[in-house]
Each structure stands twice: as structure tokens, then as C-alpha cells.
């Protein structure tokens, strides 16, 4: 994981011809469309714009590359979630915005990919424990973020913040699944809109 800025002194040998975050971002699109198992290293390297040996040298084998990508995607998602939930407006408004942004992302053309964790990491869980562990970390982080937002809100304590977070997370899971199976963004938006008042009751 090297810094992409030029602030640090250059290292010894031949410089890299790529930026780590850019590679992970391009690789992500392939993993997100095809899933881990069906994505070939050739495709991944082609999408990243570099050769297989460079990929292997930089990230290790396919599983490690997937884990790097999943962490990269997950951390950015959690950061975005935190940012929206820390914004202004009522908790209902902020939660609605979270769903709106998620739906935009999950139904993005041309593939309606859904969420990388729910849509591609889950399937590998029984056969790739390391992937399962990272996916779990990320889902926990997402729920913790939601729980903090509910705890900081002025909602009643009766459904506890943790319970509300599980519920909000469940709605997100369902949106991700339905999006990947081809649901229309409009339908998902009305579904999310109908669930926000239930979660925040």
C-alpha cells in the first residue's frame, strides 16, 4: 500500500507505472460484475491496464487481490456512510439520503451490480474464510455506524439503537439483493421510503 502523492521521497528501484487506488478501482468493477470465482486474472489485469505478474507482485494471488479490493470498497463505503449520517437534518432525512445514494450506486448501469459485500463476497464465504472475515468486519462497521447515528438521535430508546441498526442494515441488504437481480431504482426508492418511518418510529 504505497502513497500515490509525491510528498514522500521516491523509493529505490524502477517506479511503478500505476496508482494503487486506481488499480483497485478498476479491478473492483470486474469483481463486482462477475464475482470472485468467475473473474479471471487475465480480465482483472486487462481492466487494471497492467500485466499479471505486476498484479501478483503488488497484491499477491487472486484471493488477496479480491480482499484488497473488498477492503478498499468497504472502507470508502463506510466513510461515505459516516459522512452522510453525520450531516444535517433529521435522522429520517439522513437515513433516506443513505438509501438514496446506495440505490444510485447499486443500480448503476450497465450491470446493476448491487453491493460488493452482499452480491459477491457472501457467495465465497463457505469456501474462503478470509473473504468471509473481511465481509463480516465491513458489515459490522456499517451497523456500528448506523447504531451511532441512532444513538445520537432523539429517537426513543425502545427499539434500541442496535436493534434499529440491524433493521436498517437488513433493508440495505434487501436493496442490494434486489438491485443485483434487476430491480428498478424507482421501486427500490419507494421501498426504502416506506421503510424509513418504520425504522425511525
What is the contact surface with its own copies in residues (CB under 8 A)? 33-35, 37-38, 111-114, 118-127, 132, 135-136, 139, 159, 163, 166-167, 169-171, 173-174, 177-178, 180-182, 191, 194-195, 198
Which does residue 26 bind out of DNA, its own copies, none, counting CB within 5 to 8 angstroms by kind? none
Among 20, 29, 46, 54, binds DNA (CB under 7 A): 54
CB 195, min distance to its own copies, A: 7
Q: Which is nearer to DNA, 43 or 82 (CB)?
A: 43
Q: CB count, 10 Å around CB of 16?
A: 15
CB 86, min distance to DNA, A: 37
Which does residue 4 bind out of its own copies, DNA, none, counting CB within 5 to 8 angstroms by kind? none
Which does residue 62 bind out of its own copies, DNA, none, counting CB within 5 to 8 angstroms by kind? DNA
CB 56, min distance to DNA, A: 4
What are the CA-CA distances from residue 159 to residues 139, 145, 163 (Å)?
A: 20, 17, 6
CB 201, min distance to its own copies, A: 8
CB 115, min distance to DNA, A: 22
Which does residue 136 bind out of DNA, its own copies, none, counting CB within 5 to 8 angstroms by kind? its own copies
Q: Which is nearer to its own copies, 39 or 50 (CB)?
A: 39
Q: How far apart are the first and last CA of the chain?
A: 44
| DSSP calls for 77-138 | HHHHHHHHHTSSS-HHHHHHHHHHHHHHHHT-TTT----HIIIIIHHHTTT-HHHHHHHHHH
Q: Is 159 left (phi over 0), alpha (psi -120 to 50) or beta?
A: beta
Residue position matching grid coordinates 458489515: 139
Q: Which is nearer to DNA, 130 or 201 (CB)?
A: 130
CA 16 remoteness from chain centre:
27
Residue position matching grid coordinates 465465497: 124
Q: In sequence order, which residues have a C-beta less than 8 Å from that of residue 192 and are 6 or more positions away?
A: 96, 99, 100, 103, 171, 175
The contact set with DNA (CB under 7 A) reads 9-18, 39-43, 50-54, 56-58, 61-63
Amino acid at each position: 500500500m504505497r502513497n500515490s502523492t509525491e510528498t514522500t521521497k521516491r523509493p529505490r528501484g524502477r517506479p511503478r507505472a500505476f496508482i494503487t487506488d486506481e488499480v483497485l478501482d478498476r479491478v473492483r468493477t470486474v469483481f463486482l460484475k462477475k464475482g470472485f470465482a468467475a473473474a479471471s486474472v487475465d480480465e482483472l489485469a486487462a481492466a487494471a491496464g497492467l500485466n499479471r505478474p505486476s498484479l501478483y507482485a503488488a497484491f499477491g494471488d487472486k484471493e488477496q487481490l479480491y480482499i484488497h479490493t473488498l477492503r478498499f470498497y468497504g472502507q470508502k463505503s463506510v466513510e461515505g456512510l459516516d459522512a452522510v449520517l453525520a450531516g444535517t437534518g433529521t435522522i429520517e432525512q439522513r437515513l433516506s439520503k443513505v438509501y438514496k445514494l446506495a440505490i444510485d450506486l447499486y443500480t448503476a448501469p450497465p450491470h446493476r451490480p448491487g453491493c460488493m459485500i452482499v452480491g459477491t463476497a457472501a457467495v465465497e464465504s463457505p469456501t474462503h474464510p478470509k473473504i468471509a472475515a473481511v465481509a463480516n468486519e465491513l458489515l459490522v462497521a456499517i451497523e456500528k455506524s448506523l447504531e451511532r447515528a441512532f444513538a445520537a438521535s432523539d429517537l426513543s430508546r425502545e427499539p434500541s439503537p442496535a436493534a434499529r441498526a440491524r433493521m436498517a442494515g437488513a433493508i440495505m441488504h434487501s436493496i442490494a439483493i434486489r438491485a443485483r437481480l434487476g430491480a428498478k431504482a424507482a421501486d427500490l426508492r419507494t421501498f426504502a421510503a416506506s421503510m424509513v418511518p418504520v425504522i425511525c418510529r
